[in-house]
Structure 1
Amino acid sequence: MWSKKYWLLVLVALFAGFHSYAQQVFTLKQAIDTAIANYGTIKAKASYTAAAREQVSQARRDYLPNFNVAAQQDYGTVNGQNGPLYGFGGLSVASSGLPLDHQNWNASFGALYLTNVNWDFFAFGRAKEKVKTALAAATQNDKDWQQEIFKHKIKVAATYLNLVAAQQLTRSYRENLERADTIRKVVVTRVKNGLIAGVDSSQANAEYSSAKIALTKALDFEQTQSNELAQLMGIPPQPFKLDTSYMARIPALPQQPFSVENHPLLQWYKSRIALSDEQAKYSKTFYYPAFTLVGVLQTRGSGFGYGYATDQTDFTHNYWDGIKPTRTNYLFGVGVTWNITQPFRISRQVRSQQLVSKGLQDEYNLADQQIRAQLDLSDTKIKNALDNYLEAPVQVKAASDAYLQKSVLYKNGLTNLVDVTQALYALVRAETDKDIAYSNVWQALLLKAAAVGDFSIFEN
């Protein structure tokens, strides 16, 4: 019996905890943190950035010398023949032996053990430029990632504000429905008592239906914004209880001038130009020769004896005798390789890359121009939003007083339902304008943060 009570208490506690969690206010900061952690594009660009950093490590290691180790053990004949030979495609064998006047099928085991070092130790800065190019590519990916995060913060904040405004509009339209229902009930009562004509009842029902349709549209807009916010955060759609303080106050608006030089989008464009310039510099290094250091250590084993030239029976089929190392050679050398026609080909590639850099610079200039225009527009938006914010309470107060006056007059038979309806329309419009005016001030500040490239202007 006690066991059942205990489990019942646990379930009640869990349900209460879940309910309290579901009722927690979901702040803008939580929305942004969730979006950055979950959104697929941001996660993908983070992976691209990490991959580009690995390419930098790979470019540094490319300067290391090639160190090859090989071993082979074979069985076959060693018939030789005087004459030229070139192994096209590497498909011919390299059997070596005494050129006899006839073919024989004497065969034995043989082996080759080889160590080779090949190092382009100097190529006029080619390895260094390759590393710089990889670093520029990593920087570009990082800047792309950062500007995507910044852009996504702006999107999430804008959608969050839209949802807050949508919820406030839904509340206003719900209150409007309650007012329409109150008028409808008053009208129906007066019609039943024969105090007014029945047509007023039909008109009141029509206004109630209109208010209900308006509320449904507001709910539809709210659900759309809620769904979009969930998508931007990378979580399943769900109802959100948001911070409504954005509709009760306006932000502290910054007055100091701002520079757009450090805008994340412009930084990304700059990184693209820097990468293109580095690619042109890297291509230029192929104009010049490469100095190479080589070293070879080779050991061979053979089942054919040193007297095989005069005695074709001097060989063995024994495997161990055939693969045992018996002769060793080494070689060290320095060489230079230069394809003298390479500069004529690479020069076109370099010119092409320089033209790409010029195109990227033009894109940067366009983006800079658009961002500066957006910054000027944001100042105008803030001014207009503040003007509307100051006028909205006056409009609401006047519309509320007018509606109260008309409804009281109607209840006392001193005016008609048309006047009450007009006053109700004015009140709804005033309340809607007030909600939008508060939201527009925050949206204008968000636009300024987007133009400056500093989200802390809005966040703080």
Structure 2
Amino acid sequence: MWSKQYFLLALAAVLSDFSAKAQQVFTLKQAIDTAIANYGTIKAKASYTAASREQVSQARRDYLPNFNVAVQQDYGTVNGQNGPLYGFGGLSVASSGLPLDHQNWNASFGALYLTNINWDFFAFGRAKEKVKTALAAAAQNDKDWQQEIFKHKIKVAATYLNLVAAQQLTRSYRENLDRADTIRRVVATRVKNGLIAGVDSSQANAEYSSAKIALTKAMDFEAEQSNQLAQLMGITPQSFVVDTSYMARIPALPSSTFNPENHPLLQWYKSRIALSDEQAKYAKTFYYPAFTLVGVLQTRGSGFGYGYASDQTDFTHNYWDGVKPTRTNYLFGIGVTWNITQPFRISRQVKSQQLISKGLQYEYDLAGQQISAQLELSDTKIKNALDNYREVPVQVKAASDAYLQKSVLYKNGLTNLVDVTQALYALIRAETDRDIAYSNVWQALLLKAAAAGDFSIFEN
């Protein structure tokens, strides 16, 4: 007998431990870490940032000289003719041979082996400005990524707090339903015993239904917040057991002042201005000429002999004789290229980019004003939330005492059901105000962190 009881106790303990592990609390930090790792927009902007860094490497490598290697082996005729020729679009062939007084179809193999180096070694800082522009673009993408992470942290934290408040409201409305059910059963008993009129039973049933509807609405709101939190984390919607300690205490409030200049959003606006300025500087470098160093090494092979000018039978159809290298030339040179009309065109592009920078500066100033206003508003909201936080315990205690008094009086036939119902309304309203007031303190602190651009204000 006793061994069976011990076995049942041990089994209950194991099941209780398993249930506790299954209902492990999902903390705010876990929610934020999961969201940053999974959310599609953040992953996309991380990829854009990585791509822009690769473009910086590509801009640096653009300064390297062009090094071309070409090999061609052909078969064709070499009829020539005195006269001008210009290959529009590269559509003409460059067959070279002596001009004869007639057309012939003597054909042989030929080959060209070419190595070419072309290097714009000095262009008044054009290559350097291109690298700076690529760096500015990479910095902008990085700032965009960082401010997206910051915004998403705020969104996740706000939704998490809403879910905490929703679960607390659900609990309060469930307690209210239990109270309404207790009243209903008391009324039913008294009506059955003929102590009160049957209309009280109908009214009690109506209040019970109203409490049930209120609970259903609270559960619906909780489901919405849970689903939204799952979306922000990039995971499958599910139920979460959240940390309810936020509803039992108030946070440590910051006392120091904050510099809006460090806000991630303003840093992103700054990076946009810096990129636009660099683009204008890069465009200006096209005002000036480019100095180019060239080098060519060319080797040719031909199936036409050196005596072909006087003897049109001095050629061969043999492939290897035609493609074998027999003549080599080299060339080194330095030159300068300057499109004199280029500055007149580029100047409009530079002017346009400068106006874009001016517009971006206006956007930056506007964002700064809005952030400063949000900082002031957050201080006001924190103060008001704290005032409400201090008042709600008084409200809840008074409403709870009033409900207890009215319910006791009703059980003893000293008051009517209307008074009890009014006391019940006051109690659930006080409990709702309490849950919202506790949540609002944390939400106000989160608004402060969002306005200051420093999530550690809330996180710590």
Q: TM-score of the superposition, structure 1-length normalised? A: 0.96
- Secondary structure of the 1:83 match is coil
Residue 219 (str. 1) matches residue 219 (str. 2): yes
| Superposition map of 1:292-441 within 5 A | 292-441=292-441
From the superposition, tell whether residues 98 and 231 of structure 1 become closer, same or farther in structure 2 (CA, over 3 Å). same
Aligned-residue Cα RMSD (Å) equals 1.2
Distance 1:79 1:18 in 2: 94
Residue 144 (str. 1) matches residue 144 (str. 2): yes
Displacement of 1:89 in angstroms is: 1.1
Aligned to 1:6: none
Distance 1:27 1:433 in 2: 24
Displacement of 1:416 in angstroms is: 0.3
Distance 2:405 2:157 in 1: 40
Displacement of 1:22 in angstroms is: 3.1
Deviations 1:160-205 (A, max 9, x none): 0000000000000000000000000000000010000011000000
Aligned to 1:171: 171
- Secondary structure of the 1:144 match is helix
Displacement of 1:261 in angstroms is: 1.0
Q: Structure 2: give runs of 5+ residues left out of the alignment.
A: 1-13
Aligned to 2:5: none
Distance 1:18 1:326 in 2: 88
Displacement of 1:259 in angstroms is: 1.2
Aligned to 1:282: 282
- Secondary structure of the 1:242 match is coil
From the superposition, tell whether residues 309 and 16 of structure 1 become closer, same or farther in structure 2 (CA, over 3 Å). farther
Deviations 1:304-360 (A, max 9, x none): 010100011111111111001000000000010000000000000000000000000
Deviations 1:421-445 (A, max 9, x none): 0000000000000000000000000
Displacement of 1:258 in angstroms is: 1.4
Displacement of 1:18 in angstroms is: 7.6
Distance 2:319 2:49 in 1: 54
| Superposition map of 1:247-286 within 5 A | 247-286=247-286
Aligned to 2:75: 75
- More displaced 10-residue stretch of structure 1: 339-348 or 17-26: 17-26
Displacement of 1:19 in angstroms is: 5.1
- Secondary structure of the 1:261 match is helix
Distance 2:36 2:16 in 1: 30
From the superposition, tell whether residues 225 and 83 of structure 1 become closer, same or farther in structure 2 (CA, over 3 Å). same
| Superposition map of 1:85-104 within 5 A | 85-104=85-104
Deviations 1:282-318 (A, max 9, x none): 0000000000000000000000010100011111111
Aligned to 2:8: none
Displacement of 1:392 in angstroms is: 0.3
From the superposition, tell whether residues 436 and 195 of structure 1 become closer, same or farther in structure 2 (CA, over 3 Å). same
From the superposition, tell whether residues 21 and 98 of structure 1 become closer, same or farther in structure 2 (CA, over 3 Å). farther
- Secondary structure of the 2:83 match is coil
| Superposition map of 1:29-40 within 5 A | 29-40=29-40
Equivalent position amino acid for 2:44 in 1:
A
- Secondary structure of the 1:293 match is strand
Deviations 1:66-118 (A, max 9, x none): 00000000000000001111111111100000100001111110000000000
- Secondary structure of the 2:105 match is coil
Distance 2:318 2:224 in 1: 84
Q: Structure 1: give runs of 5+ residues left out of the alignment.
A: 1-13
Residue 56 (str. 1) matches residue 56 (str. 2): yes
From the superposition, tell whether residues 287 and 100 of structure 1 become closer, same or farther in structure 2 (CA, over 3 Å). same
Aligned to 2:7: none
- Secondary structure of the 1:296 match is strand
Count, aligned residues: 447
Distance 2:381 2:325 in 1: 86
Equivalent position amino acid for 1:450 in 2:
A
Distance 1:130 1:346 in 2: 16
Aligned to 1:11: none
Aligned to 1:10: none
Distance 1:348 1:105 in 2: 56
Distance 1:309 1:263 in 2: 81
Distance 2:267 2:248 in 1: 36
Aligned to 2:11: none
From the superposition, tell whether residues 444 and 414 of structure 1 become closer, same or farther in structure 2 (CA, over 3 Å). same
Aligned to 1:187: 187
From the superposition, tell whether residues 303 and 169 of structure 1 become closer, same or farther in structure 2 (CA, over 3 Å). same
Equivalent position amino acid for 2:110 in 1:
G
From the superposition, tell whether residues 19 and 46 of structure 1 become closer, same or farther in structure 2 (CA, over 3 Å). farther
Distance 1:366 1:178 in 2: 53
Equivalent position amino acid for 1:426 in 2:
A
Aligned to 1:24: 24
Displacement of 1:20 in angstroms is: 4.9
Displacement of 1:53 in angstroms is: 0.2
Q: TM-score of the superposition, structure 2-length normalised? A: 0.96
Residue 111 (str. 1) matches residue 111 (str. 2): yes
Equivalent position amino acid for 2:177 in 1:
L
- Secondary structure of the 2:76 match is strand
Residue 233 (str. 1) matches residue 249 (str. 2): no
From the superposition, tell whether residues 53 and 204 of structure 1 become closer, same or farther in structure 2 (CA, over 3 Å). same
- Secondary structure of the 2:262 match is coil
Distance 1:449 1:369 in 2: 16
Distance 2:36 2:153 in 1: 8
Give percent identity, aligned residues only: 90
